[in-house]
Amino acid sequence: MLPFIAGVAAGAAVVVAINNKKKIKKAVSEGAKKVQDYAEKGYEKSKEFAGEVKATVSEKVECIKSKGKEKENSKNENDVKDKDAK
């Protein structure tokens, strides 16, 4: 008895779907368009964010490099002073 009821329900669902084919197609199309819009916006935001991160990392790398050069120059100056003192 249960398989018969399940079959009737499935058949009824198919009939309803066929009768509402245009509505279903329209709803799916609108949903797909919304998803595409959200995906495009998300992609653009991701690109902007990645650009900001890249710029920040580049600034930090340059800062670290300049501090390293300052320390190296300071060390070289101290070495020269020590040699002169001897």
Q: How do the domains of the chain map onto residue ranges?
A: 2-85
Instruction: Tell which residue, 52, 76, 72, 53, has the closest CA to residue 64.
Output: 72
Express each pLDDT in 36-72 by its tens digit.
999 999 999 999 999 999 999 999 999 888 887 776 6
pTM exceeding 0.75 = no
What is the structure's pLDDT at 37?
Answer: 94
Backbone angles phi, psi at 20, to 5 degrees: -110, 30
Give the model's confidence band at 1: pLDDT under 50 very low, under 70 low, under 90 confident, else very high. Answer: confident
